[in-house]
Structure 1
Amino acid sequence: MTMTTKMMKTARIHEYGDTSVIRYDSVPRPRPAFGEVLLRVAATSFNPTEAALRAGLLHAFLPVDLPYTLCWDVAGTVTEVGPGAEGFAVGDRVIGRLDGGGAAAEYVRAPAALLVTAPKSVPLAHAAALPVAGLTAWQAVFEHGEVAAGQRVLVNGAGGGVGGFVTQLAQRAGAKVSATASPRSTAAVLRQGADQVIDYTAGPVDAALDGPVDTLLNLVPLSPSDAAALAPLVRPGGRIVSIATPIEPTAGTGVSTMHVVARNDVAHLAALVELVDADALGIDISESRPLTDLADVHHLSETGRIRGKVLIVP
């Protein structure tokens, strides 16, 4: 007797290009290899960098094998434990960042070493918003920005998924937080702990900012002129941390600058989960969409019409 192959839905690309290259395929359900578990995906979440990957803009330093199943964030339930996989059992609820992608599917294989127990205080699907954006925010604020009590911090691009976590973590560190956002994001950014929200659509940021800041945390792509306009807002000897466009400091100011690419760190992810369960870090879900809407979500992101984190539910 032959066993029936179990199939699952995925969102994949077979070539690089615009949003039309995203296809919704039915493929065999995977089995976990050594050190892996199989997850029933509760949700993944969209990150803007994934649109750049889909378009082929990251191919030089992040090549992938095609066809490629999209999405790095995962929240799910362990349904099978592979040989050599330790720390989890069938039925455990987990989250993680999958550097090889694959989370835009009903099931995904995941290295057990990259997973942590999901927060208990929020729906499992909501926790899918935490890994990529949360890790990026944690490392930008604490490792690279060295944000501490009494400092003044400017968060440029606080209305996005990373921005919500950056604002909360900087505020929790005891900093006074000024944040740029569009009017549609102002209320959310204030709820997340910003002391001042600057409407970047209304005029130059420096006109609304009350004096220089100790640290600039830039979270959005910038034109050369916009990047140059932000640099003088940092006091001499301060810091510039950017997860997007690198920003050169003003000459002679002694400002340190760094361009950050977040790494996968389960200790940091576990610390974020602890904050969520302690009601010290909120997860801002702007909307939840089915897997078959992923191409539309990519389009909305590329046209600047996404706020916060968008869940993708298979």
Structure 2
Amino acid sequence: MTITTMMRSARIHEFGDASVIRHDTVPRPRPAFGEVLVRVAATSFNPTEAALRAGMLQSFLPVDLPYTLGWDVSGTVAEIGAGARGFGVGDRVVGWLDSGGAAEYARAPVAVLVAVPDAVPLVNAAALPLAGLTAWQAVFEHGKVAAGQRVLVNGAGGGIGGFVTQLAKHAGAEVIATAGARSAEAVRRQGADHVIDYTAGPVGASLDGPVDTLLNLVHLSPSDAAALAPLVRPGGRIVSIATPVETPADAGVTASHIVARNDTAQLAALVELVEAGTVAIDISESRPLSDLADVHRLSEAGRTRGKVVIVP
């Protein structure tokens, strides 16, 4: 019996446009202390990875080259390193890595992994870590969304937006979501009570009164960001994961700009909601690893919707 010791991996050796993504054959990694080796079922594409590939994040997220793409990973444990506890060979896992998900195998610290129950498809689970945790922290930690509130989700048609909409609805809020025609039906399925076509004019013109919480998921011009602030009532909250939305000092609105962090307790809670059917994972496309550069190009052209998973 021949044991394969090499694997395919999508890496960048320099920063630039999507053409810098190379598909290399490299030695299969061995897990270090406290790590396991995961046979990858899927990674998922996050638009921020395109910014990393272009070299735009080096000032606050420096990486060494060559760099293996893929922050999200799901799969089965193939090998256990020394000192790694909590998982056995064959266990189904999902997690958020610093790199390496866009490959056939990935090293993963056990501290960033959670179990995936049989009821949750492994390929779908790959869409959860970064997008799901960003949504969880925006809705619950910073937005403090609660039952009876009116919540405006600006940019609900993206991968994070789908989770934000569902989690806000799960919290008991009335959810108003902005989306284009391509995403509107999916946003309604995810629980939005009202959908505003952001291409039809200013969002405020279609809004029936102020909201308690605004969750902004869109990169905006300064003028468009400023136009959102008056839509929130005094005492309300604005949370942005993209362009900060500034508010006048006397507006009485709490505004925050957030960057998500890795949190396995929250990820495990998300997996439980998916298993229970409370949160659905909206996979718009499943593409092979060889198509990763095309996915980057489509995203940069604004032509992706929901979550795209990449299967090695």
**Helix, strand or coil at the partner of 2:79:** strand
Match of 2:64 in 1: 65
State the 1:46 CA deviation: 0.3
Q: Does residue 170 of structure 1 match 2:181?
A: no
What pairs with 1:164-313 in structure 2 (closer than 5 Å)?
164-313=162-311
Distance in 1 (CA, whole Å) between partners of 2:258 and 2:137 is: 8
> Which ranges in structure 2 are unaligned for 5 or more consecutive residues?
none
Distance in 2 (CA, whole Å) between partners of 1:96 and 1:228 is: 36
Match of 1:38 in 2: 37
Please tell me the residue identity of whatever aligns with 2:13: H
Distance in 2 (CA, whole Å) between partners of 1:173 and 1:127 is: 22
Please tell me the residue identity of whatever aligns with 1:306: T
Q: Deviations over 1:219-277 (max 9, x none)?
A: 11111111011111111111010011111013411111111111100000000011011
Distance in 2 (CA, whole Å) between partners of 1:25 and 1:223 is: 39
Match of 1:56 in 2: 55
**Helix, strand or coil at the partner of 1:295:** helix
**Helix, strand or coil at the partner of 2:248:** coil
Distance in 2 (CA, whole Å) between partners of 1:4 and 1:88 is: 23
Please tell me the residue identity of whatever aligns with 1:312: I
Please tell me the residue identity of whatever aligns with 2:31: P
Please tell me the residue identity of whatever aligns with 2:77: V
Distance in 1 (CA, whole Å) between partners of 2:16 and 2:216 is: 27
Distance in 1 (CA, whole Å) between partners of 2:13 and 2:254 is: 41
Distance in 2 (CA, whole Å) between partners of 1:300 and 1:24 is: 19
Match of 1:129 in 2: 127
Q: Deviations over 1:191-227 (max 9, x none)?
A: 0000000000111100111111010000111111110
Distance in 2 (CA, whole Å) between partners of 1:204 and 1:119 is: 43
Please tell me the residue identity of whatever aligns with 1:307: R
Q: Deviations over 1:136-160 (max 9, x none)?
A: 0001000000000010000001000
State the 1:120 CA deviation: 2.6
Does the Cα contact within 8 Å between 1:30 and 1:108 map onto a contact in 2? yes
Does the Cα contact within 8 Å between 1:119 and 1:127 map onto a contact in 2? no
State the 1:119 CA deviation: 3.6
Match of 1:20 in 2: 19
What is the root-mean-square deviation in Å for CA atoms of aligned residues? 1.1
> Which ranges in structure 1 are unaligned for 5 or more consecutive residues?
none
Q: Deviations over 1:148-194 (max 9, x none)?
A: 00100000010000000000000010100000001010110000000
State the 1:5 CA deviation: 7.0
Greater alpha carbon shift after TM alignment, 143-152 vs 243-252: 243-252
State the 1:117 CA deviation: 0.3
Distance in 1 (CA, whole Å) between partners of 2:295 and 2:219 is: 19
Distance in 2 (CA, whole Å) between partners of 1:259 and 1:243 is: 6
Moved >3 Å (runs of 4+): none
**Helix, strand or coil at the partner of 2:251:** coil
Match of 1:47 in 2: 46
Distance in 1 (CA, whole Å) between partners of 2:247 and 2:301 is: 29
Match of 1:120 in 2: 118
Number of aligned pairs?
311
In the alignment, which of 150, 155, 163 is matched to residue 152 of structure 1?
150
CA distance 1:66–1:228, shift in 2 (3 Å): same
**Helix, strand or coil at the partner of 1:129:** coil
Distance in 1 (CA, whole Å) between partners of 2:3 and 2:227 is: 61
User: What is the TM-score of this pair, normalised by structure 1?
Assistant: 0.97
Does the Cα contact within 8 Å between 1:126 and 1:311 map onto a contact in 2? yes
CA distance 1:266–1:251, shift in 2 (3 Å): same
Greater alpha carbon shift after TM alignment, 116-125 vs 204-213: 116-125
Distance in 2 (CA, whole Å) between partners of 1:123 and 1:148 is: 30
Greater alpha carbon shift after TM alignment, 4-13 vs 299-308: 4-13
Please tell me the residue identity of whatever aligns with 1:34: F
Does the Cα contact within 8 Å between 1:129 and 1:309 map onto a contact in 2? yes
Greater alpha carbon shift after TM alignment, 173-182 vs 245-254: 245-254
Please tell me the residue identity of whatever aligns with 1:94: V
CA distance 1:218–1:310, shift in 2 (3 Å): same
User: What is the TM-score of this pair, normalised by structure 2?
Assistant: 0.98
Match of 2:102 in 1: 104
State the 1:128 CA deviation: 0.2
Distance in 2 (CA, whole Å) between partners of 1:106 and 1:203 is: 45
Distance in 2 (CA, whole Å) between partners of 1:206 and 1:91 is: 51
Distance in 1 (CA, whole Å) between partners of 2:234 and 2:31 is: 52
Please tell me the residue identity of whatever aligns with 1:7: M
State the 1:4 CA deviation: 7.7
- Quote the sequence identity (%): 77
